[in-house]
Amino acid sequence: MTDRIRILATSDVHGYIYPHSYADGSSKDIGLAKIKSLVNILRDENTLVLDNGDVLEGSPLMYHHFVKTPDEVSPITRAMADLNYDYINVGNHDFNYGEEALMMHLQNVSAPCITSNFFYHGKPFGPNYVIRQVAGKKIAIFGIVTQYIPNWEKKSHIKHMRFVDAYLSAEATVKLIKRLENPDYIICLYHGGFERDLVNGRLTEDETGENEGYKILRNIRGIDVMISGHQHRTEAGKLYDTYYTQTAANGAELACIDIYPDNNTIEPRILKADIDADPDMLKLFEKDEATCQAWLDQTLGTTNVDLRVTDEFDARLHKSQVITFLNKVQQEKTGADLSSNALFLGATGFGRDITMRDLVSTYVYPNTTVVKKITGKILREYLEK
């Protein structure tokens, strides 16, 4: 149909451009280079391409960039500029490397940031909403990010920022759009997920405000499409008159929402990145990738014990050599009485020659070690939860 409106959306790309695993080099259907191939096929003059945040952190390529060349424009920023997004939202992990890193990204990504519920130096960072005419229809688009960020982020990274409740912001924005614009469609980019089961409505987590997607769908009338994120789930459907999507992480999927004004229908679907990667994008980042791979293979130290993880579920249930080692390191460096750490999905552990690749494959995210003073009662609650 000639008047079909198409929305293409990524979320939680987490710095992945190349379609392979940094742990072992195996090919994977992930990365922005594969997403670009999909976009090239699907995009036409009636298409909007959006990103829903969490792009700066998560891949070894980006960790290497921020360790070695933080004053340069990052690879993922340049990749997104090459893909030519129309609008972007920010996610909680986009604050992980600090204010300057985020601002450099937003100044060079070649797409307006429309996150409306955080303030920078006392002023709203993004517009309340934007208006686009597509296929003769008036479309209002706005972005919001989970307000839970101050609970995770270093204070120094967000010292000039203030976050407003995402739900309340969305509610006010939709009212404003309806009053001033009378659009044909309202699109919400929400970097947050669902706090309830989408089928039966039961709570699936504590209501902390981190995820308010279900609440938005249930209570705010007028949003036609909500593109969610944060939880890395594969979701596409309709609830309380609003269509919604969510995609898996690392550029494994692309959300495609087709809107047909003639018969007033909307069709959301999730497309897998099982396609050849765009060769031009791969070529564009050959040098960045080669430098990163050489850095990953450097030996940092040796051990006479094999600390590889062969069965990660068994390693969680029983005493694991690599967890024991990491806890000893944390205790030695911090002077803590007790140490705790997590074994993440896909963790490889360490060989006898410990490389940077081992480290970033076992601990993908550059989290911060902290020491907390707790009581025995709190410790017991922690262990039994």
Residue 249 to residue 232: CA distance in whole angstroms:
5
Write out the two tokens for 376: 């025995």
Residue 85 to residue 93: CA distance in whole angstroms:
19
Residue 318 to residue 315: CA distance in whole angstroms:
5
Residue 16 to residue 23: CA distance in whole angstroms:
13
Give SS3 for 127.
coil
The phi, psi pair for 217, rounded to 5°, reads -60, -40
Q: What would the pLDDT profile of 68-125 be if each residue is shown by its tens digit?
A: 999 999 999 999 999 999 999 999 999 999 999 999 999 999 999 999 999 999 998 9
Residue 127 to residue 95: CA distance in whole angstroms:
19
Q: What would the pLDDT profile of 238-264 be if each residue is shown by its tens digit?
A: 999 999 999 999 999 999 999 999 999
Residues forming beta bridges with residue 258, ordered by sequence position: 6, 267
CB atoms within 10 A of CB 124: 15
Between these two residues, 12 and 364, which has the higher pLDDT value? Answer: 12
Does 298-384 carry CATH code 3.10.20.30? no
Q: Give 330-364 as a DSSP string.
A: HHHHH--S-------TT--EE-SEEEHHHHHHH--
Between these two residues, 368 and 269, which has the higher pLDDT value? Answer: 269
b or e along 339-355 (b: 16 or more beta carbons within 10 Å of the residue's beta carbon)? beeebeeebbbbeeebb
The C-alpha R_g of the chain, in whole angstroms, comes to 22
Q: Which of 186, 184, 179 is nearest to 137 (CA)?
A: 184
In three-state form (DSSP H/G/I as H, E/B as E, the rest C), the secondary structure along 272-307 is ECCCCCCHHHHHHCHHHHHHHHHHHCCEEEECCCCE
Sorted by where each begins, the domain ranges of the chain are 5-280, 298-384
CB within 8 A of 381, min separation 6: which ones?
Answer: none
The set of long-range contacts for 78-82, using a CB threshold of 8 Å and a minimum separation of 24, is 78/108, 78/284, 78/285, 79/17, 79/32, 79/33, 79/281, 79/284, 79/285, 80/32, 80/51, 80/55, 80/109, 80/110, 80/111, 81/108, 81/109, 81/110, 81/111, 82/36, 82/280, 82/281, 82/284
Task: Name the pLDDT band for 225 (thresholds 50, 70, 90).
Answer: very high
CB within 8 A of 349, min separation 6: which ones?
Answer: 307, 308, 309, 315, 321, 322, 358, 362
Contact assessment for residue 247 and residue 230, using Cβ atoms and an 8 Å cutoff: no
pTM of the entire predicted model = 0.93
Percent of the chain with pLDDT over 90: 84
Write out the two tokens for 328: 């000893």
Residue 364, pLDDT above cutoff 80: no
Task: Name the pLDDT band for 2 (thresholds 50, 70, 90).
Answer: low
Percent of the chain with pLDDT over 70: 99
CB atoms within 10 A of CB 103: 12
> Which of 167-176, 202-211, 220-229, 316-325 has the weakest average pLDDT?
316-325
Residues forming beta bridges with residue 113, ordered by sequence position: 88
Q: What's the CATH number of domain 5-280, 3.30.9.10, 3.90.1150.10, 3.60.21.10, 3.30.70.120?
A: 3.60.21.10
For residue 60, the one-letter residue type is P
Residue 172 to residue 167: CA distance in whole angstroms:
9
CB within 8 A of 88, min separation 6: which ones?
Answer: 50, 51, 52, 53, 80, 109, 111, 112, 113, 114, 143
